[in-house]
């Protein structure tokens, strides 16, 4: 009996020690940083850059001055090419000589065929063989005139006033020798060796409504009474204007008020999915100006017709957001795409988005203790038939030196890259990407191969699955 009593006393003593130890355990809670945002479901996407065309879009004119100190001073055009051809009677071109204070007209003209003709009289200004086109002053030429300008003018414009818009300008290098420099558009599209660039982003569902997103870099402000014009072009329907705009301090602004546009989305009013070309040209802004009055097009692009024209309105509910390096921190989207993730990760990483109907996507974030992250917005692109996209995040595998990883599926291994090639977005950002096409199944089982070992995807599409499965878009 005594033995049993001793055992009970010892047991109670041990239990007391355990309970006492439990009282002094560290129950501090790791801080969870809230990350919130809203994702958007968009259809097939294309992003295409404009190409800059200074050679064929802008005219080349060779000219000289003659008899400058006589009563019949002349400007003689020896050759011209790529000159805008007047297609209506509402406008014409005019030749001027002058300085910053005043100028004198050398006559109105238009282009027809291979010649230049006087506007109003239709008299030819060029020799029969086209070697010289002579413009004679309609007033007194001063010896300090240092420039020649060609403007585009509205109908019924007075001869003595330049009420139109400077199209080309050239320096008079030496009146005595007749030298005239090359003609140029007054605003340069190249500054500090950086040529202005532009691109458009189109989603199939928006393109069906005629909507296009325009991005610009380095575009000069047009202070010479011209505007930019964005147009969509095809061989059958011709050119349709999407918008007229200007650019001030890098921001797209209204042509008249110069106030910033509410967004960079423009409406073309026609279905853009099978129209192959878009252009940015230059538009004079005088009253009743026609789009056909002026034909300089410094930028153009072509894009492929959209292959996914069904434009299914896929649900963005129950898509998953998770954190690279802390993949158990997860949140699901609601019916309008809003989500929240509580993460204990600190530092620079990625928030990863997955869904059965959408291509995987991600966005870089910087998580700092004591702060929250909000307002994240990202487009989710629907999957296309027979195509799978994979992302491996170095943050998820900190114990490995990741070199040349692969995706293993269907008894084949596809190399991943982090050098900005193909579908990989940014070189060296720690996100390795691979793309597989021509897949005929409705789903594939895959793993990441790092070195010689296979690893699961911490952000797999189906969380409950024992193996990583990528669901393919219906191939029927």
In percent, the amount of the chain with pLDDT more than 90 equals 41
* Residue 37, token pair as written in the block: 């945002």
**Mean confidence (pLDDT) of the chain:** 84
**CATH T-level fold of 57-180:** Immunoglobulin-like (2.60.40)
224-255 pLDDT tens trace: 778 999 999 887 768 899 999 999 988 999 99
- Give residue limits of the domains in the chain: 33-37+312-471, 46-54+190-302, 57-180
319-378 pLDDT tens trace: 999 999 999 999 999 988 899 999 999 999 999 999 888 999 999 999 998 889 998 888
Q: Please, are residues 311 and 337 in contact by the beta-carbon 8 Å criterion?
A: no
* Residue 289, token pair as written in the block: 């100006």
Query: Where residue 29 falls among pLDDT bands split at 50, 70, 90?
Result: low
Q: Return d(Cα 320, Cα 44) in angstroms, integer.
A: 20
Q: What average pLDDT does this structure show over 379-398? A: 90
CATH of domain 33-37+312-471: 2.60.40.10
Identify the pLDDT of residue 30: 66
* Residue 13, token pair as written in the block: 């003593």
Q: Please, are residues 283 and 226 in contact by the beta-carbon 8 Å criterion?
A: yes
Q: Return d(Cα 235, Cα 254) in angstroms, integer.
A: 30
Query: Where residue 158 falls among pLDDT bands split at 50, 70, 90?
Result: confident
Sign for the CA dihedral angle at 368, 372, 377, 383 comes to: positive
Cα angle, residue 150 at apex, residues 148 and 155 outer, rounded to 5°: 140
User: Does 55 score more than 80 pLDDT?
Assistant: no
pTM here is 0.61
Q: Which residues pair with 238 in a beta bridge?
A: 234
DSSP notation for 140-187: PPPTT--EEEEEEEETT--TT---SEEEEEEEEEETTTTEEPPPB-SS
Q: Do domains 46-54+190-302 and 57-180 have the same CATH topology?
A: yes
Identify the pLDDT of residue 291: 67
At 448 the three-state DSSP class reads strand
* Higher-confidence position of 474 and 60: 60
Identify the pLDDT of residue 274: 83
Q: Return d(Cα 42, Cα 68) in angstroms, integer.
A: 64
* Residue 197, token pair as written in the block: 């660039």
Q: Please, are residues 472 and 365 in contact by the beta-carbon 8 Å criterion?
A: no
HSE of 334 in the Cβ direction (CA atoms, 13 Å)? 8
Closest among 294, 209, 196 to 244, alpha carbons compared: 294
94-127 pLDDT tens trace: 999 999 888 999 999 988 888 899 988 899 999 8
* Residue 213, token pair as written in the block: 């997103």
Q: Please, are residues 290 and 88 in contact by the beta-carbon 8 Å criterion?
A: yes
Q: Which residues pair with 248 in a beta bridge?
A: 251
Residue 304 is classified by DSSP as P
Query: Where residue 21 falls among pLDDT bands split at 50, 70, 90?
Result: very low
Q: Please, are residues 162 and 94 in contact by the beta-carbon 8 Å criterion?
A: yes
Phi (first) and psi of residue 149, to 5 degrees: -125, 145
Q: Which residues contact 60 (CB under 8 A, 6 or more apart)?
A: 79, 80, 81, 82, 182, 183
Closest among 238, 223, 246 to 291, alpha carbons compared: 238
Identify the pLDDT of residue 60: 84
**CATH T-level fold of 46-54+190-302:** Immunoglobulin-like (2.60.40)
Dmax of the chain from CA atoms?
141
């Amino acid at each position: 009996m005594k033995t049993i009593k001793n055992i009970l006393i010892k047991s109670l003593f041990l239990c007391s020690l355990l309970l006492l130890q439990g009282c002094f355990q560290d129950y501090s809670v790791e801080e969870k940083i809230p990350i919130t945002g809203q994702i958007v479901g968009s259809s097939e996407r294309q992003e295409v850059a404009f190409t800059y065309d200074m050679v064929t879009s802008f005219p080349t004119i060779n000219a000289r001055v003659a008899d400058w100190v006589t009563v019949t001073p002349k400007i003689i055009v020896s050759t011209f090419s790529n000159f805008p051809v007047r297609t209506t009677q509402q406008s014409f071109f005019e030749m001027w000589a002058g300085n910053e204070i005043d100028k004198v007209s050398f006559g109105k003209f238009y282009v027809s065929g291979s010649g230049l003709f006087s506007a109003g009289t239709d008299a030819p200004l060029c020799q029969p063989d086209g070697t010289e086109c002579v413009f004679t002053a309609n007033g007194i030429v001063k010896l300090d005139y240092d420039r020649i300008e060609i403007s585009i003018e509205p109908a019924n414009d007075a001869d003595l006033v330049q009420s139109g818009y400077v199209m080309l300008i050239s320096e008079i290098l030496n009146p005595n020798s007749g030298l005239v420099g090359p003609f140029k558009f007054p605003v340069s599209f190249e500054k500090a060796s950086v040529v202005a660039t532009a691109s458009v982003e189109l989603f199939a569902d928006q393109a069906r409504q005629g909507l296009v997103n325009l991005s610009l870099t380095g575009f000069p402000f047009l202070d010479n009474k011209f505007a930019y014009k964005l147009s969509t072009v095809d061989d059958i329907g011709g050119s349709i204007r999407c918008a007229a705009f200007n650019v001030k301090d890098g921001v797209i602004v209204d042509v008249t008020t110069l106030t910033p546009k509410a967004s960079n989305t423009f409406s073309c009013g026609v279905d853009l999915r099978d129209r192959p070309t878009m252009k940015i040209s230059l538009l004079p802004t005088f009253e009743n100006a026609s789009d056909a009055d002026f034909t300089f097009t410094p930028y153009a692009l072509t894009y492929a017709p959209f292959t996914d024209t069904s434009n299914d309105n896929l649900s963005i509910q129950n898509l998953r957001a998770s954190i690279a390096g802390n993949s158990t921190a997860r949140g699901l989207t609601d019916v309008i795409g809003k989500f929240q993730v509580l993460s204990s990760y600190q530092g620079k990483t990625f928030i990863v988005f997955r869904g059965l109907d959408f291509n995987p996507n991600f966005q870089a974030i910087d998580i700092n203790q004591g702060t929250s992250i909000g307002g994240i917005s990202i487009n989710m692109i629907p999957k296309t038939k027979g195509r799978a996209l994979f992302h491996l995040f170095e943050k998820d595998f900190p114990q490995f030196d990741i070199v040349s990883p692969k995706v293993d599926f269907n008894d084949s291994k596809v190399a991943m890259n982090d050098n900005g090639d193909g579908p990989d977005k940014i070189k060296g950002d720690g996100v390795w990407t691979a793309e597989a096409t021509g897949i005929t199944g409705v789903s594939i089982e895959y793993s990441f191969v790092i070195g010689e070992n296979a690893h699961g995807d911490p952000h797999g599409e189906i969380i409950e699955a024992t193996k990583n499965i990528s669901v393919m878009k219906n191939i029927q």
